[in-house]
């Protein structure tokens, strides 16, 4: 069975792009989507996804605080951050908060699939 992924990003375009990459790979299913960190925490509880792909800079609740709240609920949560290059200090902070890895925008489909595979298979911790 494919891992179910919760996609969290405040832009519809980015959510759709990531969803297409994951689904077309045939390796991942999409459990749901969220547009901010607060929604991500709620959807994590509701949907119980196997993995989360999370943006950092979002309205209402940012990705780093969402990671902290999700890790508090489930320390084994597999969260991959996705953010722009100029936000690298935030990426480092998100890893410290409990995220397993990160992908810098702009990204390739290959990069997303490689990182998601590694995190899912426990290569990244």
In tens, the pLDDT along 43-92 reads 999 999 999 999 999 999 999 999 999 999 999 999 999 988 677 788 88
What is d(CA 94, CA 27) in angstroms, rounded to the nearest whole number?
Answer: 25
Tens digit of each residue's pLDDT (9 = 90 or more) over 6-51: 999 999 999 999 999 999 999 999 999 999 999 999 999 999 999 9
Residue 104 dihedral angles phi and psi, to the nearest 5°:
-90, 135
* CA 47, chain centre distance (Å): 14
In angstroms, the first-to-last Cα distance of the chain is: 22
Q: What is the pTM of this model?
A: 0.95
Q: Mean pLDDT across the stretch 110-116?
A: 97
What is d(CA 68, CA 4) in angstroms, rounded to the nearest whole number?
Answer: 20
| CATH of 4-120 among 1.10.8.60, 3.30.70.260, 3.40.50.2300, 3.40.50.10440 | 3.40.50.2300
Confidence (pLDDT) at 124: 62
């Amino acid at each position: 069975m494919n891992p179910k992924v919760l996609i969290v990003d405040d832009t519809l375009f980015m959510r759709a792009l990531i969803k297409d990459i994951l689904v077309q790979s045939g390796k991942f299913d999409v459990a749901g989507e969220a547009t901010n960190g607060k929604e991500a925490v709620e959807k994590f509880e509701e949907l119980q996804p196997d993995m989360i792909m999370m943006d950092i800079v979002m309205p209402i609740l940012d990705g780093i605080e969402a990671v902290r709240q999700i890790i508090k609920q489930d320390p084994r949560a597999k969260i991959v951050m996705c953010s722009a290059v100029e936000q690298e200090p935030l990426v480092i902070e998100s890893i410290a908060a409990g995220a397993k890895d990160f992908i810098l925008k702009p990204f390739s489909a290959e990069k997303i699939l490689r990182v998601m595979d590694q995190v899912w298979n426990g290569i990244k911790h």
